[in-house]
Amino acid sequence: MIKDTCPACGSNEMRTGEFKGYGSLFKKRAIIKSSEVEADFCLQCGLILALKVKNPEKFA
**Closest Cα to residue 53, out of 22, 15, 25?**
25
Residue 46 lies in a domain: yes
Encode pLDDT of 10-56 as tens digits. 999 999 999 877 776 667 776 677 788 899 999 999 999 999 998 88
Cα angle, residue 11 at apex, residues 47 and 21 outer, rounded to 5°: 35
Give the C-alpha separation, 49 to 11, whole Å: 12
Is residue 3 pLDDT above 70, yes or no?
no
Question: What is the predicted pLDDT for the residue at 13?
Answer: 95
Domain residue limits at 54: 14-59
Give 18-43 as a DSSP string. Answer: EE-GGGSEEETTEEEEEE-EEEEEET
Count up the domains in the chain and report the number: 1
Residue 34 lies in a domain: yes
Overall residue count recorded for the chain in this entry: 60
